[in-house]
Amino acid sequence: MDYFRCIKPCVESEIGKLEYVMLHAPGKEIEHMTPENAHKFLFSDILNYREALENYKNFEGTLKKVANVVYFKDLLIDVLKKDEVRQNILNSVLIRENMKYMESVLADLSVEDLATALIEGYDSPNIKERYLFPPIPNLFFTRDASFTMYNNIMISKMATTVRDRETIILDAIFNNSSIIDVETVHPIERFAPNGIGRVEGGDVEIARHDIILSGCGARTSQEGINALLEHLRHLGGRRHLIAQELPLEPESFIHLDMVFTFLDRDRCMAFKPVIMNENFKTIHYEVEGTEYTKITEEKNLIEALDKLGMHLEPIFCGGGDEYYGPREQWHSGANFFAFAPGKVLGYARNYHTIEALGNNGFEILKAADVASGKVNTDDYKRCVVAFEGNELSRGGGGARCMTMPLLRQKV
């Protein structure tokens, strides 16, 4: 790795200019999925590796033009060079996955080969079952297993054990990296009674330095939200957490960022049938220290933010159309990633949503043009960089899901 300085992670908003972001391009690990095991790995379809990687190219290229990109595998190799860390990662993963019998095989691998095995799995041509040690095909969704909240890295408690390996490795990376200086927090282990609960990064959005949003649904539980509240209490000052109830099905509603994302200081993207539907509760928690808690049920998320001085004009997924909205939400049409105020990345395939952005003052740019240097996003006040995602979107996530910001400028 050749990075210019020690990174001290800090994120206080969803839209601050991006300085550092962690990525992982979809690799050969996704080729392990078959129609028989896709559901086990939380996918509703199997992805084509080459096409997914081709989709990813201009998404990654755009981010490299606007920020510094660090890669999960590089960070993993860096910490695996430390014998004690290597042993701890291997031991923790194999115990968690009940595969201690693989220790002698994996322990003999080189640092680079072990990093590959931990991501892509380890196979043998001499057995019927292709993989002795399974891969982690969800890894390109780097948002979920950890997330930056203020100057901490929060280690998620995943709703499904198939993603536990990611949290083990990320905890080891952030606590032992030679280029990242940060304190990790395990909110469930630290604050939830008996360690019961779950919280995933796709559900947590930082609206403002004093306002956290969280989805409450299939992936993040009420116990997880309570743990986040306890963390906010320990930070001090008056803070707000707004919890948004999500539908438990279909699976396109797994995280808050699948129905709501920030675009600018005064713009957001929303899926109208959930965000503007009073049947899905919006609960506002206000805390200050250990003594003060106020709980209020709000009409909806946008009105709750408005009461706190964040006046957002929603742009609706699919243009708010009753037919196109659900179709595009299914393919992450509400899942945008802001790399600066008013400058966002999203799938080009959701063209009714992209058109709605265009009608609301966002210049529509092609990611290929930004990645190649033909177009500079600095030339625009507001823009949406649209990248091809026909294959990636079948994985069940979008631009925000595939990014883990480490450092943003303050807004």
> Could you tell me the domains of the chain?
18-408 (3.75.10.10)
Give the C-alpha separation, 203 to 87, whole Å: 32
pLDDT band, residue 322 (cuts 50/70/90): very high
Picking from 364, 354, 312, 363, the residue whose alpha carbon sits closest to that of residue 331 is: 354
To the nearest 10°, report the CA torsion of 172, 174, 180, 185: -150
Query: Could you give the C-alpha distances from 262 to 6, 89, 207, 345, in angstroms and in order?
Result: 28, 35, 8, 11
Average pLDDT of the chain, as a whole number: 95
Q: According to the model, what pLDDT value does residue 35 have? A: 79
pLDDT on residue 129: 55
Per-residue pLDDT for 242 more than 80? yes
Q: For position 3, what pLDDT does the model report?
A: 54
Listed range (54-58, 128-132, 250-254, 403-407) with the worst mean pLDDT: 128-132
Distance between CA atoms of residues 293 and 283, nearest Å: 13
Q: What was the pLDDT predicted at 41? A: 79
Q: Give percent of the chain with pLDDT exceeding 70.
A: 97
Q: What is the pLDDT of residues 179-237, one digit of tens each?
A: 999 999 999 999 998 889 999 999 999 999 999 999 999 999 999 999 999 999 999 99
Distance in angstroms (rounded) separating the CA atoms of residues 116 and 401: 22
Please provide the distance, in angstroms rounded to a whole number, between the alpha carbons at the two ends of the chain: 30
Residues 202, 402: Cα–Cα separation, whole Å: 10
State yes or no: pLDDT of 349 exceeds 70. yes
Tokens 């713009």 correspond to 267
Least confident segment among 40-44, 67-71, 379-383: 40-44
pLDDT-above-90 percentage for the chain:
89
Q: Is the distance from CB of 165 to CB of 118 less than 8 angstroms?
A: yes
Q: Mean pLDDT throughout 264-270?
A: 98
pLDDT exceeds cutoff 60 at 238: yes
Predicted local distance difference test score (pLDDT) of residue 130: 62
pLDDT, position 125: 58
pLDDT tens profile 135-192: 999 999 999 999 999 999 999 999 999 999 999 999 999 999 999 999 999 999 999 9
pLDDT on residue 266: 98
Backbone angles phi, psi at 324, to 5 degrees: -70, -30
Q: Could you identify the residue written with the tokens 């080729």?
A: 31
Residue 1 has pLDDT above 60, yes or no: no
